Amino acid sequence: MSLVDTVEVPEGGAPPDLPARHIMVSQTRAMARRSIVGTFRQPVQWIPGLFFPLMLAGINSAAMGKSINLPVFQAAYPGIQSFGQFLLPATMIQGVMFGAVVAGSDVALDIENGFFERLVVSPVARSSILVGRLAGACALGAVQAVFFITIFSVFGAKVAGGIGAYLVLVLLAMTLALAMGGLMAAIALRTGSQEAVQNTFPLIFVLLFLSSAFFPTQLMSGWYKVMAEHNPISWMINGARDLVINGFSFRSAAEALGVAAVLAVGAVALATRQFRRRLAVAA
């Protein structure tokens, strides 16, 4: 789809005079659509981000499902009904982190095949190039959140917080997708290499395993417990987990979304800085 397809052209005439803001929004929407459609046309990119977290959740549930009967576990999560409830936020966040690699890799691919330079010399608002890509990452995050919530619900892991918790979880997935997508895009813009993006991600992914994602910190000990308790991912997961297990709470919602928002602001700022440097090189 051409970017100009979003602007209606009267029959037999030129495109109407439109405000610059309207044109930029139309171009950003077109770029976001390109990102979303391009992603879903390549199942090999996003399917692992859906099924690998589910497989890991199934293994953990089978191995540690009965641990919810431990007194310490019950004291920490009095409303818990299944280990699936405990794993739902971590699985969702894991999937979103996988999806962020797709966004970063696509930015690097655009640079490698010369499409980025063609966009720069075209009459496209510069901001729409990056914003459109990040918007696509947010949309993928929302789809992933709905998918994981639905699958876990089918297997009995109900969200105790109701519609409010559902909305927070989807918004959390979108905000985290923006954060991780921004970080991966920054790496792509800095290096211009898909390989660099993919090689950097495992280092970031380790942070998920050094958190409370798959087991409560109350049952940890030593340096691992210290790392998990001071890991921002733990704070985010714990807030979302409280919504799933114990019901809706504005405090838990603010904790989960607040951490994700701070990460998103930092990542987008970094991506914007690298984007300007790349524009300077391409100019």
CB-based contact 279:126 (threshold 8 Å)? yes
How far is the first Cα of the chain from the last one, in angstroms, to the nearest whole number? 25
Instruction: Please state, in angstroms and rounded to a whole number, the distance separating the CA atoms of residues 19 and 33.
Output: 21
d(CA 283, CA 278): 9
Q: 83-110: per-residue pLDDT in tens? A: 999 999 999 999 998 888 888 888 888 8
Q: Which two tokens stand for residue 224?
A: 């691992």
Taking the C-alpha atoms of residue 171 and residue 89, their distance in angstroms, rounded to an integer, is: 12
Using an 8 Å Cβ cutoff, are 30 and 55 in contact?
no
Work out the mean pLDDT of the chain and round it to a whole number.
Answer: 85
Distance separating alpha carbons of residues 135 and 132, to the nearest angstrom: 5
Average pLDDT over residues 235-256: 94
pLDDT of residue 20: 63
Provide the token pair at 119: 């966009």
Task: Report which residue type is found at 90.
Answer: A
Q: What is the pLDDT of residues 127-176, one digit of tens each?
A: 788 888 888 889 889 999 999 999 999 998 889 999 999 999 999 999 99
pTM of the model: 0.86
pLDDT digit string (tens) for 17-35?
A: 556 667 777 877 787 788 7
Does the pLDDT at position 241 exceed 90?
yes
Cα–Cα distance, 200 to 206 (Å, whole number): 11
User: Measured between alpha carbons, how far is residue 235 from residues 32, 87, 96, 220, 227 in Å?
Assistant: 30, 15, 17, 16, 12
Tell me the C-alpha distance between 280 and 283, whole Å: 5
